[in-house]
Each structure stands twice: as C-alpha cells, then as structure tokens.
Chains A and B, each alone.
Chain A
C-alpha cells in the first residue's frame, strides 16, 4: 500500500466515523458504495465497527455494574460483589471494604476521609506495617485519627489474605490437576 492509499483510507475512515456519530445514513450508504470494490477500505470500516461495538459493550457493562453497585449500596450495604482477583489491591478496594464493614467508633472525619478514599486508585504500598502504611497514606491523603488507619490496615490485611490465599489455592489446584508424567 502506498502512502497515498494510506492517506485516502485514513480520510475515508474519518468520514465514516463522523457519519456514524451523526447517524447520517445517506453518507454511510455512499461510503459503503465507494468501498464496494476496495478491500482495504472494507477492512478499515469493519475495524471501526468492531471498535465501536466493543466500546459500547464496555460502556453497557460499566453502566450495569455501577447500577448494581449503587443498588446494593443503598439497600444492602453489607453485601459485596465478589470479583476475580486482578491487579494489585488499591486504596479504593480497602476503603470500600471499610465502607461495607465499618468498625465501631469511627469519627465523622474518618467516615468523610473513607468516602474520599473510595475513589483513590493508588495500589497499596508493599510494606503494610502500620507505621509505614500511615506515613505513606498521610503523605498522599492527609492526616486521620490513628483508629482509622488501624481499621484501614486490618481491612487491607483481610483483602491481601483473600487475594493471596486465592492465588495460592488456584496454583495448588492447578498443580494437582496436572497429569502425571507418562500417563
């Protein structure tokens, strides 16, 4: 394909995307007619369609997830959605766990900080010892009552245990399922 071909396909793709967004059926028909005998252009349009479908599915899933989470939060605050372990545990994961299982005697300020941390995507630090966790967290999120950070550490230990134990269990299960040599 020559540079001119690539430029032409880019321009036509941009027109196609624009027509899709404007839902301009006559322009879309015209573009598909132009592409009828141009395999490279058909491929480009198909790839745009696939990308859009994927994006819309992801948006739909995110919308459903957020609706479900909001419903559970309103009507069944102690419930939680079990998700397959993926990526490091974040501050938001821990804050959400604390939101679902709030220890007694947390101050209003602690609740307010916890609400803020439910949106914090930073992964937890490697060292979860209380003094290091507090130093790390307060440098980023500001100070809080020691009771809050103790509760935060306990919730972090619980999530870390769940995650690690699940990974170790799956590894062990996989090792057991592996067929014996020669069988």
Chain B
C-alpha cells in the first residue's frame, strides 16, 4: 500500500472519529466520510461531462467549462471553496459505485491543491484491481479507495475467524464472504487479499 494513500485514510479516519472496528459487521459507511468532508455525492445515470455540468447549473452553480460534454464518465469531483461535489455513474452496479465514490473522496482529500476545480474520471482511470496506465494521482485515489473500503484490519480479522472456525482459510471463500460484507466487487477483494497475502491460495 502506498504510504501517502494509507496515511491519508488513517488521518481521515482519525479526523472523522471512525476508527476501523473489526467487531462491527457490514460495509464502511461512506456517507459519514462525505458528510465530514463537506462533500455532497450525487449519482447520475449514463454520466457524461455534459450531464455533470447540467446538474451543477441546475443547482445554480456556475461550473464553467468542464470539457467535451459527450464524454462518458465513471466519476467526477468538483471542488470549490471549502466544499465539493462528487459524482458517480448511477448506471454502474453498487460495488462499482461505492469504489468510484471512495476514489473521488480520495481526490478530495489528497489532491485538492493540485487538481484545480475538478477532476474527471473515465471508466479506465478508476481501477478496483491493478491499473498500470493511469497517472500517479489516479493511482493514489485508487489506493485510497482500496484502503478505505477494505481495511486490512477487517480482512485479517475475518481470516482469523475463518481459521478458528474451519481450521483453514481458502482465499476464494474469504474473498466471497468479505466482498459481500464490505459491498465491494469480488475482483477488488481478491486483489486486495492477494496484496495483503491473506488467505490460503
């Protein structure tokens, strides 16, 4: 895990007073993080740069030129002053939307000073597993999302529980159980567990 992303998530958890608690079951409550960052999140169907601009204009917000209106997007973050707006594609399935939302939150936390007023993410730039062809900023936001949505403490705790219960911890089964609990894709969970070297191959 990249240090900057890990530190950013740890600091955010401390700031929001939401430490990782393996005794608590269920997905990470993303809403709370957005509320504490004063970032509103919105899901737009078939999202494009044009639909984001249209939405902001409908709220009376002068967004300016956001780029080619027809370009399809997976995520978008717009920051202004001390607040921001994160957009995800409502057409994506829930685990994907959550990953994108966490990715945009990562931009808001880590890249406010360097990204300008907005950052648009195409489906290629948001990767739940590995992505070699993205910029460092996108890589950091992806790592931020991984650490926020799939805390290592939870992964390790569930692996230990499985070992105690069954005497072994097949990674495939652990992936299935953790992906369901944390509302992330199985692909993202598999990659995370492999990186953490948790579970038996």
Point out residues on A near B: beta carbons under 8 Å: 82, 126-131, 150, 153-154, 156-158, 160-166, 168-169, 172
A168 to B56, CA, bound (A): 15
Least distance between B195 CB and chain A CB atoms (Å): 31
A168 to B99, CA, bound (A): 30
Least distance between A88 CB and chain B CB atoms (Å): 11
A172 to B63, CA, bound (A): 12
A residues in contact with B39, CB < 8 Å: 157
Given contacts A130-B38, A131-B35, A162-B62, 17 further A-B contacts (CB under 8 A): A129-B38, A130-B36, A131-B17, A153-B35, A153-B38, A157-B38, A157-B83, A160-B81, A161-B85, A164-B81, A164-B82, A165-B63, A165-B117, A166-B62, A168-B80, A169-B64, A172-B64
B residues in contact with A169, CB < 8 Å: 62, 64
Known: A160-B83, A161-B80, A168-B80. A131 touches B36 (CB 8 A): yes
Known: A168-B117, A169-B64. A161 touches B81 (CB 8 A): yes
Least distance between A123 CB and chain B CB atoms (Å): 13
Known: A162-B59, A168-B117. A128 touches B83 (CB 8 A): yes
A150 to B59, CA, bound (A): 17
How would residues 2 to 42 of chain B score, 1 for a CB under 8 Å from any chain A CB and 0 otherwise?
A: 00000000000000110000000000000000011111100
A103 to B56, CA, bound (A): 18
CB<8 Å pairs between A and B, sample of 10? A127-B82, A130-B35, A131-B35, A153-B38, A154-B40, A157-B38, A157-B39, A157-B84, A162-B62, A168-B117
Taking the complex as formed, is B61 at the interface, i.e. its CB lies under 8 A from any CB of chain A?
yes
B38, A162: Cβ atoms under 8 Å?
Answer: no
Known: A128-B82, A163-B81, A168-B80. A157 touches B64 (CB 8 A): no
Nearest B residue to A129 via CB reads B36
A157 to B56, CA, bound (A): 12
